[in-house]
Structure 1
Amino acid sequence: MPMTMAQEEGEKYPIHRCIFQGSVKTLSSLIKTHDIAEKDKQGNTPLHLAVMLGRKECVQLLLAHGAPVKVKNLAGWSPLAEAISYGDRQTISSLVRKLKQQTREQMEERRPNLVAALHQMGDFYMELKWDFQSWVPLVSRVLPSDICKIHKSGASIRMDTTLVDFNDMRWERGDISFIFNGDQKPGHSLIVLDNKAKLFQRVRHKETELEIEDEVDILMSSDIMAAQMSTKGITFSRAQTGWIFREDKREMVGTFHADFYQINGMVLESRKRREHLSEEDLQKNKAIMESLTKGSSQGFKNGEPPLRRASLNPPPESNITWDEYAVAPPGQCPLLGRNLVYKESSKSFKATVAMSPDFPLTVDMLLNVLEVITPFKHLSKLRQFVLMKLPPGFPVKIDIPILPTVTAKITFQEFAFRNDIDPELFQVPSDYFEDPMSEENHRYR
């Protein structure tokens, strides 16, 4: 007898099927011989399904065997996003811990190659100028600008900046130096200096229990967010200049000749879900977020531990069968958890990039430098942009959307290979003290 489509899918994805059927015993034997990272035709990994269906034992078993946490299904959601929607605190906490562990392991895997690449590159000094602009009237007047100074020597990089953080139209000024010493062992390679307070912090790679639980509280009490720059439809066309006789725009950027390109089809897509939040949550949301981000949970009131968010009541048991799930067309996944409360928006951006053939650094070299300093959120946006397939040359001037209403103009205004860079720049000055507020470390991760 020929197999039905559902049976075929069951043969193809036996782990997915046994999670659907809630068979922990079958899962524990299949896990030894099958790929637990495999996606089905909805883009769901076994971990996605275990989380959406509330199969807690399956979740723990998959995590114990290293199932990847940072992976998205066709709808663009990770297992962590689905866990927040489901609302089981223990599951969310396990996923957060595993995600951090896997991120650390991936960084350590890449580290020897990164350190080797830094050693091969010449030593240099570079300046990046940031100008933040907004199309909202008056906002541009109050937005900050900054010059990042970057020194590189051997496998060490130092970045000096006055813009500590930039998030949701709030920014934090300071005088911060970020030092990466690639030849030091992992726990000692990242240091942040606060040059005003003359303090330093070693950026730990391991979070405390308190930090993990704080993060779980924030995740459970705020929107599930996914934002990405869609690069699928992006094209580049030469920017034109002149009123009557049009010609390709060429200008000097600093000391570098550059060809200007218009970036077409750049779209910032942002999506949010809030089916896990009650009306009361939505009102409390701001207050909870502010108290947590200000660090009020670091001290217990009257010796009491902070009040933690309890798990939600689980969504109604899904009555979808494996057969119904298996035959659903890709992108039309049956609802397995709560009814979605979902909003998406997209904004198109007009942007330009100036590419210079003269710039001494290559894009690959820049990516290695940015990999080290991307704990700063606005720099991770720059790294995402540089990963795009750019026209030939080096991007000496770029417009990048940072937030839906804010664009950053980044200019590589100075660059020089140098062999006289002072090794002291990469050390903690002797008159600096270790910051007692080490709970703040997570800001720089």
Structure 2
Amino acid sequence: MPMTMAQEEGEKYPIHRCIFQGSVKTLSSLIKTHDIAEKDKQGNTPLHLAVMLGRKECVQLLLAHGAPVKVKNLAGWSPLAEAISYGDRQTISSLVRKLKQQTREQMEERRPNLVAALHQMGDFYMELKWDFQSWVPLVSRVLPSDICKIHKSGASIRMDTTLVDFNDMRWERGDISFIFNGDQKPGHSLIVLDNKAKLFQRVRHKETELEIEDEVDILMSSDIMAAQMSTKGITFSRAQTGWIFREDKREMVGTFHADFYQINGMVLESRKRREHLSEEDLQKNKAIMESLTKGSSQGFKNGEPPLRRASLNPPPESNITWDEYAVAPPGQCPLLGRNLVYKESSKSFKATVAMSPDFPLTVDMLLNVLEVITPFKHLSKLRQFVLMKLPPGFPVKIDIPILPTVTAKITFQEFAFRNDIDPELFQVPSDYFEDPMRDYDVYMIMMMALHNISCL
């Protein structure tokens, strides 16, 4: 007898099927011989299904065997996003820990190549000017500008900035230096200096249990966000100048000749889910996020443990069978968890990029530098842009969207290879004091958490 479509899918994806059926024993056997990262035709990995169906033992077994957490299904959501929707605190905590572990492992895998690439690159000084703009007039008046000063020597990079953080319309100014010493051990390679307060902090690679639980509270109290720049339809065309006699636009950017291009089809897509939040949550969430962005971790008060967010009541048990799931067309996945409360938006941007054949740095070199300093959100956006297939040359002037209402004009206004970079720039000044309680760890945790969800 010929097999039905559902039987064929079951043969193709036996781990997915056994998770659907809730068979931990079968999973324990199959996990030894099958790819636990494989996606089915809905783009779901076994971990996606285990989370959405509330199969907690399957989740723990998959995580113990290294199932990837940073992976999206066809709908664009990660297992962590689905876990937040389901609302089981233990599952969310387990996924956050595993995500951080896998991220650290991936970074450490890349680290030797990154350090080698930095050593091979000449030492230099570079300035990036950031001008933030908005099509909303009142917003545009309050947006800041900043000049990032970057020194590079050997495998060390220092970035000085006055823009510490931004979130929606809140802009935090300061005098901050971010130092990466690639030849140091991982736990000692990242340092943040507060030059006004003359304090420093080592950015830890491993979070404490308290910080993990603080982060879980943030995730359970917040919208599930996914924002990305759609690059599928992007094309580049030469920008034109002149009223009557049109010609390709060429100008000097600093000391560099540059050809200007129009960027066509740039779209910022953002999606938001909040089926796990009550009306009371939405009110509390604002206060929690404001508290954390100011650096006040919930912590322990008067020796009492903080009040943690409890797991939600699970959604109704899914009555979808494996056969029904297996025959659903790609992109039309049956609902396996809560009813979605979902909003999406997209905004098109008109932008230009100036490409210079004269700039001494290559795009690959720039990517290596940006990989070190991407904990800063606006620099992460720049790296995402530069990863696109650009016209020939180096992008000395770029327009990129940062938020739905805010764009940034970035200008590489100064660059020089130098052999006289002062090594003391990459050391903590002797009159600075270490302050492990500063808010940068909370900032890094929150930004990387939100970044991870938006990238997943």
TM-score range, shorter chain: over 0.9
Q: Secondary structure of 2:137's partner? A: coil
Q: Tell me: CA distance 1:381–1:248, structure 2 relative to 1, closer, same or farther (3 Å).
A: same
* Residue 296 (structure 1) shift: 3.7
User: Could you list the per-position Cα deviations for residues 294-351 of structure 1 after superposition, in whole angstroms to 9, with x for gaps in the alignment?
Assistant: 3444443343221111000000000000010001000000000000000000000000
Residues 202, 436 of structure 2: 8 Å contact kept: no
Q: Secondary structure of 1:297's partner? A: coil
In the other structure, the counterpart of 1:289 is 289
Cα distance in 1 between the residues matched to 2:224 and 2:319: 25
User: Could you list the per-position Cα deviations for residues 84-135 of structure 1 after superposition, in whole angstroms to 9, with x for gaps in the alignment?
Assistant: 0000000000000100110000000000000000011111110000000011
Q: Secondary structure of 1:9's partner? A: helix
Cα distance in 1 between the residues matched to 2:129 and 2:297: 36
Work out the number of aligned pairs and report it.
437
Residues 239, 248 of structure 2: 8 Å contact kept: yes
Residues 266, 350 of structure 2: 8 Å contact kept: yes
Cα distance in 1 between the residues matched to 2:130 and 2:433: 30
* Residue 399 (structure 1) shift: 0.3
Cα distance in 1 between the residues matched to 2:248 and 2:31: 58
User: Could you list the per-position Cα deviations for residues 394-443 of structure 1 after superposition, in whole angstroms to 9, with x for gaps in the alignment?
Assistant: 00000010000000000000001111111111111111110141xxxxxx
Cα distance in 1 between the residues matched to 2:315 and 2:308: 21
Q: Tell me: CA distance 1:297–1:187, structure 2 relative to 1, closer, same or farther (3 Å).
A: closer
Cα distance in 1 between the residues matched to 2:301 and 2:156: 42
Q: Secondary structure of 2:302's partner? A: helix
Residues 214, 292 of structure 1: 8 Å contact kept: no
* Residue 44 (structure 1) shift: 0.2
Residues 297, 306 of structure 1: 8 Å contact kept: no
Q: Secondary structure of 1:151's partner? A: strand
* Residue 236 (structure 1) shift: 0.3
Residues 129, 147 of structure 1: 8 Å contact kept: yes
* Residue 60 (structure 1) shift: 0.3
Gaps of at least 5 residues in structure 2 are: 438-456
Q: Secondary structure of 1:232's partner? A: coil
Cα distance in 1 between the residues matched to 2:420 and 2:373: 22
Cα distance in 1 between the residues matched to 2:189 and 2:334: 47
User: Could you list the per-position Cα deviations for residues 193-233 of structure 1 after superposition, in whole angstroms to 9, with x for gaps in the alignment?
Assistant: 11111111111000111111111111111110000000000
Residues 149, 160 of structure 1: 8 Å contact kept: yes
Residues 396, 411 of structure 1: 8 Å contact kept: yes
Residues 52, 337 of structure 1: 8 Å contact kept: yes
Mean CA deviation greater in 146-155 or 277-286: 277-286
* Residue 282 (structure 1) shift: 1.8
Cα distance in 1 between the residues matched to 2:27 and 2:293: 40
Q: Percent identity?
A: 100
Residues 249, 260 of structure 2: 8 Å contact kept: yes
* Residue 58 (structure 1) shift: 0.2
Cα distance in 2 between the residues matched to 1:166 and 1:197: 20
Q: Tell me: CA distance 1:66–1:299, structure 2 relative to 1, closer, same or farther (3 Å).
A: closer
Q: Secondary structure of 1:298's partner? A: coil
Cα distance in 1 between the residues matched to 2:233 and 2:435: 46
Cα distance in 1 between the residues matched to 2:149 and 2:191: 16
Cα distance in 2 between the residues matched to 1:139 and 1:171: 12
Cα distance in 2 between the residues matched to 1:141 and 1:279: 33
* Residue 280 (structure 1) shift: 1.6
Residues 266, 349 of structure 2: 8 Å contact kept: yes
* Residue 289 (structure 1) shift: 2.2
Mean CA deviation greater in 274-283 or 339-348: 274-283
* Residue 285 (structure 1) shift: 2.0
Cα distance in 2 between the residues matched to 1:415 and 1:292: 37
Residues 144-163 of structure 1 mapped to structure 2, 5 A cutoff: 144-163=144-163
Cα distance in 1 between the residues matched to 2:402 and 2:299: 34
* Residue 52 (structure 1) shift: 0.1
Q: Secondary structure of 2:82's partner? A: helix
* Residue 292 (structure 1) shift: 3.5
Q: Tell me: CA distance 1:296–1:429, structure 2 relative to 1, closer, same or farther (3 Å).
A: closer
In the other structure, the counterpart of 1:359 is 359
In the other structure, the counterpart of 1:183 is 183
Residues 180, 191 of structure 2: 8 Å contact kept: yes
Gaps of at least 5 residues in structure 1 are: 438-445
Cα distance in 2 between the residues matched to 1:110 and 1:396: 27
Cα distance in 1 between the residues matched to 2:183 and 2:127: 24
Cα distance in 1 between the residues matched to 2:70 and 2:232: 21
Cα distance in 2 between the residues matched to 1:283 and 1:336: 28
* Residue 141 (structure 1) shift: 1.8
Q: Tell me: CA distance 1:296–1:231, structure 2 relative to 1, closer, same or farther (3 Å).
A: same
Cα distance in 2 between the residues matched to 1:281 and 1:253: 49
* Residue 376 (structure 1) shift: 0.4
TM-score (norm 2): 0.95
Residues 198, 433 of structure 1: 8 Å contact kept: yes
Cα distance in 2 between the residues matched to 1:170 and 1:103: 28
Cα distance in 2 between the residues matched to 1:126 and 1:302: 48
Cα distance in 1 between the residues matched to 2:421 and 2:287: 47
Cα distance in 2 between the residues matched to 1:233 and 1:256: 29
Cα distance in 2 between the residues matched to 1:172 and 1:29: 52
Mean CA deviation greater in 294-303 or 354-363: 294-303
